[in-house]
A and B are shown apart, each in its own frame.
Chain A
Amino acid sequence: MTATTALPADYSEAYAREEDIKWVVRDALTMTKRNLIAYVRIPEAAFFSSVQPIMFVLLFRYVFAGAINVPHIGYVDYMMPGIFVQTVAFGSVSTSIGLAEDLQKGLIERFRALPMSRSAVLAGRTTADLCRNVFVVALITGVGYLVGFRVHTGLMSFLGGVGILLLFAYALSWGFAVIGLSAPNSETAQVMSFPLLFPLTFASSSFVPVKTMPGWLQGFANHQPVSLVANSARALMEGKVALLGSGTVGATVVQALIWVVGLLIILSPLAVSRYRRVS
């Protein structure tokens, strides 16, 4: 090891720009890249996180489909948008696990002492998880096609549906960021996340029509975000008939978007403030 040249540089300009939009974006991209490299370097994790949604497609297609009767539309076309929503929602849990891990390893500590944007760690993590969700959606679209799923609208409409459910998962990621930054370790972060997700994804229109549920549950199931996102995705992929006679495509999509934007507006400042206070 030889001498390290240390010439204290003048960073007066850099500090002034810590929250400049240019740095907010660039730091977020730096962090996104870092997280994506991890996904690529651990192929086992990528493989097994893809296996679970594929299993869900196969289970619902071949185990439950016979027992579930949906009017107007074939069950495989009904369930696939639901499985998309469930998959991306579960995928967004990795935000909480990843942040808890960074916290545990002392990486957040280092980041907090760097002159980087305060939102970059979170933006980078949520964006990387969004990218992973894009990959998984593409994968199970393929699997869905193999087991009989067909889009009955058009490509643009299908992509619109995919867009809504990805945005929804992105908004959820910020919520899971709060959990990840509050959990003592990554295992706990995961255990804390799923009890929130199960009622949301299953007490919804994802896999069965809400009308088949008891009355008291229908109120919740009809208005909660997973149902509205699933209904929107389904309507955009399969047409108005997939709404089973309740509401219009436009109104459903607008309600879903209100949820998504609302969640994002509430959860992202919450996560950033949690990040600032975490120790």
Chain B
Amino acid sequence: MIDDLAVVARDLTKTFKGGTLALDNLSIEVARASVLGLLGPNGAGKTTAVRILTTIIKPDSGTAFILGTDVIRDPARVRSVIGLAGQNAAVDENLTGLENLRMVGDLNHLPRGEVKARARELISQFDLADAANRPLKTYSGGMRRRLDIAASLVARPAVLFLDEPTTGLDPQSRNDLWEVIENLVEQGTTVLLTTQYLEEADRLARQIVVVDHGREIAKGTPGELKARLGQTVLEIGFLDHEIAVRALGVLGQLGKIPPTRDGHLVEVPVDDGPKSALEALRVLDSAEIQPTTFTLREPSLDDVFLSITGKTTE
């Protein structure tokens, strides 16, 4: 079984100076050629986990192996099989796009000829060919992010760490990047992705680990997690909270998961959006309750947290 796992981390614990407990016995397993989504709010410990697995910092306790190599004992070997795109676009402002990629290729000790070819290949794959010879100072935020991710792929790493890769990307670039990740995985790359967006984890990850305060609070396939949530959330607003309380009562029978109320807003997680929406309106109508607003939306990270911990991410 272990051989099918590209990343195995057990009981990682890390406390930073000042006593902040960043990781609290976090365990992670990522199957080869799959995506694991590490889902959690800001400050949940996602980046700390990535930094430990990419040999940047050492855990206080726990073990971690990448493709069977001990991250703590043999970091040099680990570095030769991984790629990392961190949260800040870690690129050199003064170098051009191509120069940045070549530098990373050189530092990965790729053969000289391959470095040049690979840099050209990636720059066009990431739609940066027009800006290839411009210093990064002239790049937009989204372009930098794309270049940063391209840089993490220069050495064709077997295991790729992407720390909130789509933060700051426009929807088009985000979709493009998702496609790139899917292609990489199809071809055998293992990806550990951190994200704050349930939608992203849902689209890409085979397994999701939800973290909060450095601890795992839930894990499973996207399907399993969403089964706890419902596919869609009906967000229904009322004139005041008294009416909302009454509505909460009659909407209770609608789905498998009980609805929640926040002030004069009622949220009903349901599995079949439009059908349940009709039914909700019917139920409200027959109880003679008038909604003021009515919205259908995808469940968010907040909903995951609410369902697991009973409180939102804030």
Interface residues of A (CB under 8 A from B): 1-9, 11-12, 14-19, 23, 26-27, 30, 34, 37-38, 41-42, 105-107, 109-116, 120, 279
Contact = CB atoms under 8 A, between A and B. Distances in A.
B122 interface: yes
Contact of A120 (B104, B107, B157, B183): B107
Given A5-B187, A109-B86, A113-B54, A38 B109 contact: no
Given A3-B180, A4-B184, A109-B51, 6 more contacts: A1-B127, A4-B180, A8-B158, A12-B77, A37-B99, A110-B90
B92 A14 contact: no
B84 interface: yes
Contacts of A7: 156, 187-188
Nearest to A34: B103
Contact of B84 (A16, A110, A116, A120): A110
A106 B86 contact: yes
B82 A113 contact: yes
A115 B76 contact: yes
B135 interface: yes
Contact of B56 (A16, A34, A113): A113
B79 interface: yes
B161 to A, nearest CB: 8
B56 A109 contact: yes
A23 B108 CA distance: 10
B281 interface: no
Nearest to B99: A37
A8 B86 contact: no
B125 interface: yes
Contact of A9 (B54, B126, B155): B155
Query: When A and B form their complex, which 6 residue pairs have the shortest distance between CB atoms, in order from nearest?
Result: A8-B158, A15-B80, A106-B88, A110-B90, A11-B80, A38-B94
Interface string B62-103: 000000000000001101111010111111111100010001
Contacts of A42: 94
Contacts of A113: 54-56, 79, 82, 84
A4 B80 contact: no
20 contacts: A1-B125, A1-B126, A2-B125, A3-B187, A4-B122, A4-B125, A4-B153, A4-B180, A4-B183, A12-B80, A14-B109, A18-B79, A37-B94, A105-B93, A107-B90, A110-B151, A111-B107, A113-B54, A113-B56, A279-B51
